[in-house]
Structure 1
Amino acid sequence: MKDNATQAANIGKFQNSLVTADGQTRASVALSNPETLWFNTGTLCNIECVNCYIASSPTNDALVYIAADEVRAYLDQIEERQWPIREIGFTGGEPFMNPEMIEMTRAALERGYEVLILTNAMQPMMRRTMREGLLELQRDYGGKLTLRISVDHYRPELHDEERGKGSFAKTLIGMEWLRDNGFKMAIAGRTVWGDSDADSRAGYGAFYAEHGFDIDPQDPGQTVLFPEMDESIEVPEITTACWGILDKSPDAMMCASSRMVIKRKGAERPAVLACTLLPYSPEFEMGETLAEAEADVHLNHPHCAKFCVLGGASCSG
Structure 2
Amino acid sequence: MKDIDIGPANKGKFQDPGFTADGAPRATVALEGLRTLWVNTGTLCNITCANCYIESSPQNDALVYFTTQDLAGYLAEARDLGHPLEEVGFTGGEPFMNPQIIAMARMALEAGHRVLILTNAMRPMMRPAMRAGLVALNREFPGRLVLRVSLDHPDPAVHDSERGAGTWDVTLQGMRWIRDAGLAMDVAGRAGVSESEAEVRDGFARLFAEEGFAVDAADPAHCVVFPEMDLTVEVPEITTACWGILHKAPSEVMCASARMVVRRKGAERPAVLACTLLAYDPEFELGGTLAEAGRPVALNHPHCAKFCVLGGASCSG
Q: Same fold (TM over 0.5)?
A: yes
CA–CA separation in structure 2 for the residues paired with 1:77 and 1:281: 25
**Aligned residues with identical type, % of pairs:** 60
Q: Which residue of 2 aligns with 1:11?
A: 11
Q: Which residue of 2 aligns with 1:295?
A: 295
| Larger mean Cα displacement after TM superposition, 83-92 or 31-40 | 31-40
CA RMSD, 1 decimal: 1.2
> Does residue 180 in structure 1 map to residue 172 in structure 2?
no
CA–CA separation in structure 1 for the residues paired with 2:128 and 2:63: 25
CA–CA separation in structure 2 for the residues paired with 1:57 and 1:242: 37
Secondary structure of the residue aligned to 2:26 is coil
Q: Which residue of 2 aligns with 1:283?
A: 283
- By how many angstroms is 1:233 displaced? 1.3
CA–CA separation in structure 2 for the residues paired with 1:142 and 1:195: 37
- By how many angstroms is 1:312 displaced? 7.3
- By how many angstroms is 1:299 displaced? 0.5
Q: Which residue of 1 aligns with 2:55?
A: 55
Q: Which residue of 1 aligns with 2:41?
A: 41
2:193–2:228 Cα contact (<8 Å) kept: no
> Does residue 2 in structure 1 map to residue 4 in structure 2?
yes
Alignment TM-score, normalising by the size of structure 2: 0.96
| Larger mean Cα displacement after TM superposition, 11-20 or 39-48 | 11-20
| Deviation digits for residues 84-104 of structure 1 (CA, Å, limit 9, x no counterpart) | 111100000000000000000
Alignment TM-score, normalising by the size of structure 1: 0.96
Runs of 4+ in 1 over 3 A off after TM superposition: none
> Does residue 90 in structure 1 map to residue 85 in structure 2?
no
Give the letter aligned to residue 307 of structure 1: F
Alignment of 1:150-165 (within 5 A): 150-165=150-165
Give the letter aligned to residue 241 of structure 1: A
Count residues with an aligned counterpart.
311
Give the letter aligned to residue 2 of structure 1: I
- By how many angstroms is 1:178 displaced? 0.7
Structure 2: segments with no counterpart, 5+ residues: none
| Deviation digits for residues 68-123 of structure 1 (CA, Å, limit 9, x no counterpart) | 11111111011001111111000000000000000000000011100000000000
Q: Which residue of 2 aligns with 1:213?
A: 213
Alignment of 1:226-241 (within 5 A): 226-241=226-241
- By how many angstroms is 1:240 displaced? 0.4
Give the letter aligned to residue 190 of structure 1: R
Q: Which residue of 2 aligns with 1:251?
A: 251
- By how many angstroms is 1:142 displaced? 2.7
- By how many angstroms is 1:33 displaced? 3.3
Structure 1: segments with no counterpart, 5+ residues: none
CA–CA separation in structure 2 for the residues paired with 1:8 and 1:257: 31
